[in-house]
A and B are shown apart, each in its own frame.
Chain A
Amino acid sequence: MKIEVQDLIHTYPSGETALNGISLVIEGTTPVAVAGQNGSGKTTLVKHFNRILSPTKGRVLIDGVSTTERSTAQWAKKIGYVFQNPDDQLFLNSVRKEFEFGPKRTGIPPEKIEKMLPIVADLCGLGDKLEIHPFDLTATEKKFCTIGSVMMIDPNVVIFDEPTCGQDIEGNNRLISIIRYLRNNGKLCITISHDMKFIAKNFERVVVLCKGQVLTDGFCKDVFAKPTILSQSFVSPPPICRVALGMGLKQSVFETEELVGCIVQNMKRRNKK
């Protein structure tokens, strides 16, 4: 799956230009994170991937096909989008029906739905709650119910808008296992997040937006090594990374063990001198 964004400009009817000439290519199955301050254009950008929004100027191509050639509902088969607020999406009277709704609408055969349902339900931690009304679920479970209902469509790309918002450690771990599952099954995962620790640990590539433009784009290790550039979009590297940079280490560090290893090495070098 290849997503090509070419000189994308988006102006809202109010006259506000949210995206101002964005060009980037996302392909393969490497999970991509999109970061940036509020109002930088993150959601506006990803809403172009399944034509919830259409470009004012420029193009978005999915495997060479312009997004404007199909409707959002048609793109749903290829591009899944999990909205921030589960209450905007859930309306059926059981988790099972919510899970079955999307694949039925997009024409997935019943046998495939039956096969996928237990896998997705277990991944989302809702295996024993399939008959429960979605409004009786906790806020975290509701979020996973919407994630599951999108995963059931089996799209090639899954977009998450702020999935870590309001999640506890258990929720975050579940999310990590979902992102891994998607990658292992040849799916591309694009995630908007403000949680830099979450990004650093789970994404190889990060795109940072600032005022509707790409501020920096690359491997997490390289991007988080440039705190001065990141500060333009009020993004700061994860705390452990800041400690390592403060110590004068040249590379970014995201794990405690990695930092300890670097400190030990430095001490050994000093002792030798």
Chain B
Amino acid sequence: MSEKSKQAAKSKSKKTSSYVPIDSPIDRLHPMIKIYAIFCLGIGCAVFPFLWLAYSVVVFLFFVAWKAKMLTKFAGFITAFAIPITVMLLFIQGLYSPKNVTILADFGFAKLGLEGVLYTFKTVGTLLVFLGSFYLMTTTTYPGKLVTAMQDAGLNPKAGYLVLASLNVVPQIQRRIAVIQEAQTARGVEVTGKLKTRFTAFLPIIGPTVMSSLIDVQERGMTLEIRGFGAKGVKPSSLTELNVSPAEKAIKRVLVTFLILCIAFAFSWAIFTRVR
């Protein structure tokens, strides 16, 4: 494949899903292992009673992002999510949580409580683990490979298509909005500038987006049917073949062990605190 066609393929795949084709060990990893990672790491951190675990996993995710050659993008995503959500939760939980007993600061109109602050950091940490790992999974996994992996694991092809469609829907709508925006500006709708101008441009852009998306869904449904999507009694074949390597099996065992240990520790900790 020439450099130019590679670039074209790259830009095309960028347009149809959030997948970024960069060759890396994380990209090559079996998609089911990545899904295991999301759930094992996420649930593990959610049940674990201390907040250091979640942040250690976030640091580990940064290492994974570095291995996947997308550290900057990942750091940007995490920061863009973490800062506003932390501020918002600190305000709600830190100042007004009913669990607040230990007062850290008194602002007059409200008091900042330690329990609320800890709860905030625990929630943000768990959310970052879930979102960060999910972000890494979607950006490093070719959607076709993901669906094949899920179908190999016993997922119904119809449900598999649903997964694929939901992964593709956001980039597709973004592309459609860009075209609609062009069409409406050509009719005299100003889409940039003052807030009021932008607000009045909302209806001319959202109207065709919703209507054409509905038409698109209807047409997509029909084209899927005529290509035998709903055929019964047939085992569908796939162009993508996936094998789980011994190393991947080991990673899976480590992830499951991590989850079991977290749950076991959470249980013992709950019993221990109650007895005490």
Binding site for B on A (CB under 8 A): 12-16, 47, 50, 52, 71-74, 76-77, 80-81, 83, 85, 87-92, 101-102, 105-106, 135, 149-150, 153
Contact = CB atoms under 8 A, between A and B. Distances in A.
Contacts of B188: 73, 76-77, 102, 105-106, 153
Given A15-B11, A88-B212, A105 B207 contact: no
Nearest to B197: A73
A47 B186 CA distance: 10
B215 A149 contact: no
Contacts of B176: 88
A83 B182 contact: yes
Given A87-B212, A87-B215, A91-B208, A71 B190 contact: yes
B199 to A, nearest CB: 14
Contact of B186 (A15, A80, A92): A80
Nearest to A152: B187
Contact of B180 (A47, A88, A101, A153): A88
Contact of A81 (B7, B186, B190): B186
Nearest to A51: B185
Contacts of B204: 91, 101
19 contacts: A15-B7, A16-B7, A47-B182, A52-B185, A71-B192, A73-B185, A73-B190, A76-B186, A76-B188, A80-B186, A81-B186, A83-B183, A87-B212, A88-B179, A88-B183, A89-B180, A91-B208, A102-B187, A105-B189
Interface residues of B, number: 27
B20 to A, nearest CB: 13
Interface in B156-214: 176, 179-180, 182-192, 203-204, 207-208, 211-212
A18 to B, nearest CB: 12
A50 B188 CA distance: 11
Given A73-B188, A73-B189, A91-B204, A135 B7 contact: no
A244 B4 CA distance: 41
A90 B207 CA distance: 8
Given A76-B188, A91-B208, A106-B188, 5 more contacts: A50-B186, A88-B179, A89-B183, A90-B208, A153-B187
B261 interface: no
A2 B52 CA distance: 68
B211 A76 contact: no
A193 B176 CA distance: 23
Centre residue among A83, A91, A102 by max chain B CB count within 10 A: A91
Contacts of A13: 11
Contacts of A91: 203-204, 207-208, 211
Nearest to B184: A89
Nearest to B8: A16
Nearest to A71: B190
Centre residue among A50, A71, A87, A135 by max chain B CB count within 10 A: A87
Contacts of B192: 71
B8 A14 contact: yes
Nearest to A77: B188
Contacts of B203: 91
Contacts of B186: 50, 52, 72, 76, 80-81, 83, 150
Contacts of A153: 187-188
Contacts of A92: 207
Nearest to B179: A88
Lowest 9 CB-CB distances: which A-B pairs, in order?
A91-B207, A14-B11, A105-B188, A76-B188, A72-B185, A81-B186, A73-B190, A87-B212, A106-B188
A87 B208 contact: yes
A100 to B, nearest CB: 11
A38 to B, nearest CB: 14
Contacts of B11: 12-16
Interface string B39-69: 0000000000000000000000000000000
